[in-house]
Chain A
Amino acid sequence: MANKVFKGRVITAGDFIGEAVVSHQGVNTLATFEKSAIMRSKHVKVSDQNNPDIFNKDITNKILCLPLTIGSTTGGMVIQTICNMGSNPRAFLFSEPADSIGLSGIILAKVWQNSNVICLDSLGDEFLKTVKTGDKLEIKSDGTVIILS
């Protein structure tokens, strides 16, 4: 099977090959990260019981594929904090234009923590329909995402 290629808008660039974890619904940032962060876990085990796609999954150093983030406006600060702790997903791939909270977190982490977190958005609905949890993805700094077969 041929590799599938998608192109997104670059929010923060980087090259990375890693494993996808896919949420088809909006990711509630506070509900997702809070418990692991409070426990200072080195790995984030998703604690949002309302999101069956990713509940209980380890997303540290993975590629989180999502439509957008939802919920609390602490979300940006939460992303900044987990980036500072080093337990963040290595990349956030938004199928939609990134929302204000998710994007704030990425920008705060970049400007204030000099984080190497990668973020692309506007990858399109087809991306989220195609990518599956466990897929191996290659992200390029020009915004290309390849689902490696």
Chain B
Amino acid sequence: MIDYKMKLEPNLVKILKGEEGDTKRKILETLVIYGDAFNAKRMVKITHGEGHLVTSFGTPIITPVYDCFDEIIKAGLKVKDGFTMDPRPLDHDGNVKYSPLDKLINGTAVFGKQEYYEEKLEKVGLKDKDSFSCTSYLPECGNTPKKGDILSWSESSAVNFANSVLGARCNRNSGMIDVFGSILGYVPEFGYLLDENRKANWIVEIKTTKIPEAQLLGSAIGIKVQDGVPYVKGLDKFIGNKLDEKTISYLKDFGAATASNGAVGLYHIDKVTPEAVELGEKLIKKDAKVYVVDDAELERVFKSYPIMWKDKNAKPKVCFIGCPHLTYYQLIDWHNRIKAELTKKGLNKVTTEVVLNSAPKVLAHFKKDHPEMYDEYYKMGCKLSSICPLMYTSNPLTHSKAILTNSNKLRTYSNARYEFDDKVLDLITGGKF
């Protein structure tokens, strides 16, 4: 048995001794070493049993993941309350265009093990075939923790949202660590699980003249604070202080950019997010650093992004809107904005391939409540998909494509070009750079 520093309950000591099998021992051993490295004093029970896993893609190279799942299955272990997953990497419903060569490469070298992997996921506790989204915390998706719940989740944007907007408690767990905690029902107690680490070590003062683009502001803060906890002041005057669908959509996009451009797992928005409402500036550490964000700072950050397109004035080949996946509110909003822009320009259809991404269950909600809007999206030349656009760009053939997006997260991980919502709207309806 390994040496360990934390205090373990007798049932966990038995597991660590291998009395419940070697696989369970290795799972706990991984979590104990992980916790000890962060000086966790103990393992604590998770209070929201549904997991969320980030590794949704069956790429052939991740053999350690397959081997590990095989061991878990062989040992008869699974996540008791089930789990949701990040989005699937491919769209098989014709909503994303693939050339024959794309299909060949996606089906072999890039995601050739997708079905093989999903069979394993089902055996370990995947909730259902529509449980693939990075926004599984949305009400339609049904994996929504309560304030104070302890989780064993991954996906940087989901952990960030759960901690910040829902007030749940979860560390930025890696793929595999996520499922280990969910199987055991325990996680090491450190980091964002503890009150003292939920205090802000950065104050961000918003001094812009208008509402900042959510994903640009998030990027600026992520780059500046890295893994810090920012307390954002002055944003409430633009987004209000009610956590309604519009504000939740804004914070989802903002948070994803803080997490991908930096390593933010928790933020507080003065007068808006639950702990900031409850505790106010008591949440700020005495020695917190200050970052002032004004129009000039946002412009500086935007101009710092490298443009990876070979022809910087190219017409976009494809545009992805919705990374992270769009909310119900955003599906309605984008529909109305695209329709209005087309009408203004006297057009019937968008001028480039446009894919709007949302969770399967959010799309189903949207289709049920607004069948006319759903149909109209397709009439306007847009497609609705539940793909992960980030995974779309894993295919090397996409690296030379002029991909446009309103997602700073997608920009970070690919050659896609990030533009503000208004500019994206213009470019997909015939506008030029």
Contacts and interface: CB of A to CB of B under 8 A. Distances in A.
**SS class of chain A's interface: helix, strand, loop or mixed?**
helix
Nearest to B413: A31
Interface in A66-95: 67-77, 80-81, 84-85
Interface in B57-77: 59, 61-65, 67-68
Contact of A68 (B54, B64, B178, B226): B226
Contact of B64 (A34, A84, A101): A84
B174 interface: yes
B64 A74 contact: no
Contacts, number: 137
A59 interface: no
B174 A38 contact: no
Contacts of A100: 34, 38, 171-174, 191
Contacts of B308: 49
A74 B174 contact: yes
Chain B interface residue number, banded: 35 or more
Contacts of B227: 26, 68, 70, 99
Nearest to A76: B174
A38 B62 CA distance: 10
Interface in B381-401: 394, 396, 399
Interface in B307-325: 308
Interface residues of A, number: 41
B326 to A, nearest CB: 20
Given A72-B54, A101-B172, A111-B29, A77 B65 contact: yes
B262 A104 contact: no
Nearest to A11: B37
B55 interface: yes
Interface in B191-207: 191
B26 A112 contact: yes
Contacts of A75: 174
B412 A71 contact: yes
A56 interface: no
Contacts of A77: 54-55, 62, 64-65, 174-176
Contacts of A69: 263
Given A26-B262, A39-B396, A104 B54 contact: no
Given A73-B159, A77-B55, A40 B262 contact: no
Given A39-B396, A71-B412, 15 more contacts: A34-B394, A38-B396, A40-B61, A68-B263, A70-B262, A72-B54, A73-B159, A73-B173, A73-B178, A108-B64, A108-B177, A110-B33, A111-B30, A112-B67, A113-B64
13 contacts: A39-B396, A50-B305, A71-B412, A72-B413, A73-B174, A74-B54, A74-B174, A76-B175, A80-B65, A105-B174, A108-B30, A111-B30, A112-B64
The 10 A-B pairs with the shortest beta carbon distances in the complex, nearest first, are A76-B174, A104-B174, A77-B175, A73-B154, A70-B263, A84-B64, A73-B156, A49-B306, A73-B54, A104-B177
